[in-house]
Amino acid sequence: MRSADRSVRRLPPVGGRRIVAAMAVSELPGTFGHRHLLGIEGLQPFEIQHLLDRADSYVEIGRQADKKLAILRGRTQINLFFESSTRTRTSFELAGKRLSADVVNMSVGSSSIKKGETLIDTAMTLNAMHPDVLVARHQDSGAVALLARHVNCAVINAGDGSHEHPTQALLDALTIRRRKGRIEGLTIAICGDVMHSRVARSNILLLTAMGARVRLVAPRTLLPAAVERYGVEVHHEMKSGLKDADIVMMLRLQTERMQGSFVPSVREYFHLFGLTYAKLEAARPDALIMHPGPMNRGVEIAGDVADDINRSAILDQVELGVAVRMACLETLTRELRAAA
Amino acid sequence: MRRRAIIGVRLLDPGSGLDAPGGVVIEDERIADFGPHLHAARLEDADVVDGRGACLAPGLVDIRVQLGEPGAEHKETYASGTAAAAAGGVTSFACLPNTAPPIDDPAMVEFVARRARQLKRAKVYPYGAITRGCAGRDLAELALLREAGAVGFTDGDRALADSLVMRRAMAYASVIDGPIIQHPEDPALAEGGVMNEGEVATRLGLAGIPAQAEVIMIERDLRLVELTGCRYHVARISTGAAVEAVRRAKASGLPVTAEAAPHHFALNELEVEGYRTFAKTSPPLRTEDDRRAVVAGLADGTIDVIASDHCPQDQDSKRLPFAQAEFGVVGLETLLPISLQLVHDGVMSLLAVLDRLTCTPADLLGLEAGRLRKGAPADLILFDPEAPWKIREEDLRSLSKNTPFDGRLVQGKVLCTLVDGRTIYDDGRLAPADQAR
């Protein structure tokens, strides 16, 4: 008997207050098999499935009056954000608190970098405080993986440079699954600034792994090199890109990561790639609109489309984000708790 | 007069094509005689050493080495750099001018020459900067630098991007007869890039440097070579397109030469996987197709020279997120074994590889080195081309340990290094600086 199996059984009812809907959750053959969650790359479809099932079971808890589970009681979670973030940090904080972890936020900005401390020094300093989970975001690709090599706890990548943002992809997948009942076979158009987007990379990996048909729709200046090798269709205009799409996933134009001019003007970008009802005509009538936020209204998406409660799943994404992060926190600390 | 002899060796002289058993006699600092006729019976008056079948070749001539002195002595000093050279079989090397302060003034050239003389290890030849401060705008005093001993002109790790400045530098240098050496990379296209552009960079979320940045700079420079007739050398070529551009230019008779670094013919961009900053080089490690093209270029002579592109970086410059880490790898001590891989792979003959490492680079910079010749300085190495060993960073003599070859199993080991007839490295032991026998 592997330790994780025991911990899975230990999970449910806490304090006898209510039932955690863990019955239908897919079981893993053994442990989760990953110490950290640094990206979607390296996750098997059944592992993604498991995380999504877990997250699904936490959705209801967030809707109850009493939102607290005791799963991470006594555990310390440090949120280390080198890059400003409101929603992701809040989401991770809420997820940790709903699982009863002691959550500490460190918004480093660039202040300690200015003081000359290197990332590895920061990692070792935090490690000496014995956290159980470290949630980290950094402006450089690979920085969270570097951090993970110098700490003894589980690390969750909350976004590293233009590399990956795995919990965003998981929450997007959960949103799609709950609204459409499946991921496999859907046509999903990811539109906009793919080049600078870690959300796009994680989503491409996850959605193609789960059997969706993924299209990228972007001006050529905002597509990374050789992206067609990732098993996606590439389009350079919205009409063909959105044709018969089940999901339209808009990306934020990330001007803060851009060196020089990638598009001539915001006006022209909106004209060509901004999501409007007119462009949405090409998609399926029940096509769902998603956006990882924060939105630039009038840049990549028209305000009225974003606010359309029948079409837009943007607020669902935010809600499910907490559940997904609870699932990730719980899964990665499972062996730790089993050992305790 | 002191006479020494090394007998029982396989003499290798790529310049003359000699590959025969024999010996060599050294009188004072120079080669007095060499050849198959030399054996113990005829050398009773000399100090005779039996080479036991090892290969004896001219010492290696490495035309691209970055030292940290002055300005970054924590990365590499003349003492540590020449120690690494001795262990790597390098008896002469040219060092880049992008130090702090840069070698853009005749006094700095003399500083380098004096530091190297004091150490009495490898001979160090400085390059002069093309432009003041290697900044790419105003010409440095090329003629005065040349008179002071600069062997060529380069702005080091910076491309000279301004076409007008390059045209004038070439026109001016063509009369002084110092080659212009370019770091071939269009800085605008490469801006912000940290690795080769392509599938791997896309997956890792790292900004790419397209292969075109290299060939564009070379193609432009070749037009200016046509215009000025200047001798032009392409430093560490990394892409197939650039190799082809040089091949065509040579066919049309332009005075162009090119060099490749071991990491560009032994490694490809996959080394960067896992954000390994020790594989962050400038130019970046390229695709497997590019790597093969560099090997083919070396084999057919399009690429004239193998240089280590030794670029020491301390831990604090490398233990960083990939984008923040410095470029560069150390290479003096791994130059020979990695190059010999080309022989073991059957791509090139032993003499051809030695040609790229000795006489051709020496001739390029006009150095009295790189050949077995009576009267030439006795800068020699003894090596075993087959001896297997494992490269370990902790064994490196360089102050910085940033090798991408750590843990690699290689064949080919330097046994002994002589500079001006003095043994400066013998069987893993380094002669103390300035006290070499």
pLDDT at position B45 is 78
Confidence of residue B434 (pLDDT cuts 50, 70, 90): low
The residue type at A214 = V
Q: Is the dihedral of CA B186, B190, B195, B196 positive or negative?
A: negative
Does residue B338 lie in a domain region?
A: yes
Q: What are phi and psi of B92, to 5 degrees?
A: -140, 135
State chain B's mean pLDDT as an integer.
95
Model confidence at B219: pLDDT above 80:
yes
Mean pLDDT computed over B27-35: 94
- Neighbour-count burial for A214-245, b at 16+ CB within 10 Å, e otherwise: bbbbbbeebbbbebeebebeebeebeebbeeb
Question: In this structure, is the dihedral angle defined by the CA atoms of residues A246, A43, B275 and A128, taken in order, positive or negative?
Answer: positive
The closest alpha carbon to A212, from A229, A232, A195, belongs to: A232
In a domain, B31, yes or no: no
Q: In A, which residues are within 8 Å of B323 by CB distance?
A: 140-142, 161
Residue A259's pLDDT is what?
67
pLDDT for the residue numbered B39: 78
Nearest CA in chain B to A162: B205
Q: SS3 for B411? A: strand
Q: What is the mean pLDDT of residues B43-53?
A: 86
* Number of separate domains in chain B: 1
User: Which domain does B355 fall in, by range?
Assistant: 59-365
B309 is catalytic: yes
Residue A33, pLDDT score: 86
Omega before B404 cis (within 30°)?
no
For the four alpha carbons of A19, A20, A23 and A27, in that order, the dihedral sign comes to negative
Judge whether A220 is closer than 8 Å to chain B, CB to CB.
no
Min Cα–Cα distance to chain B from A251, Å: 16
Is B415 within a domain?
Answer: no
Instruction: Look at residue B155 and tell me if it is in a domain.
Output: yes
Distance from CA of B322 to the nearest CA of A (A): 7
State how far Cα A293 lies from the chain centre. Answer: 11
CB contact under 8 A, B205 and A161: yes
* A226: chain B residues, CB-CB within 8 Å: 198-199, 202
Average pLDDT over residues B321-336: 97
CB contacts of B316 in chain A (<8 Å) are: 118
Q: Is the peptide bond before A166 cis (omega within 30 degrees of 0)?
A: no
Q: Is residue B64 part of a domain?
A: yes
Distance from CA of A183 to the nearest CA of B (A): 22
Is A163 in contact with B323 (Cβ distance < 8 A)?
no
The residue type found at B94 is: A
Residue B6's beta-bridge partner residues? Answer: B24, B49
At B242, which CATH number?
3.20.20.140
B30 falls within a domain: no
pLDDT at site A222: 96
pLDDT of B202 higher than 60: yes
Q: Is residue B421 assigned to a domain?
A: no
Mean pLDDT of chain A, nearest integer: 89
Q: Which of B191, B194, B204, B287 is the best mutation test for A, with the most CBs of A within 10 A?
A: B204
pLDDT at position B436 over 50: no
Query: Among candidates A210, A254, A212, A206, which has minimal Cα distance to A233?
Result: A212
B74 within a domain of the structure (yes/no): yes
Please tell me the distance in Å from A163's CA to the nearest CA on chain B: 4
Query: For chain A, how many residues are written?
Result: 340
CA distance B303 to B424: 30
pLDDT tens for each residue of B226-267: 999 999 999 999 999 999 999 999 999 999 999 999 999 999
Residues of chain A with pLDDT under 70: 1-31, 109-116, 257-259, 340
Report pLDDT for A115.
Answer: 61
- Which residues on A lie below 8 Å from B286 (Cβ)? none
ipTM: 0.89
- As a whole number of angstroms, the longest Cα–Cα distance in chain A is 61
Torsion of CA A132, A135, A138, A140, to 10 degrees: 70
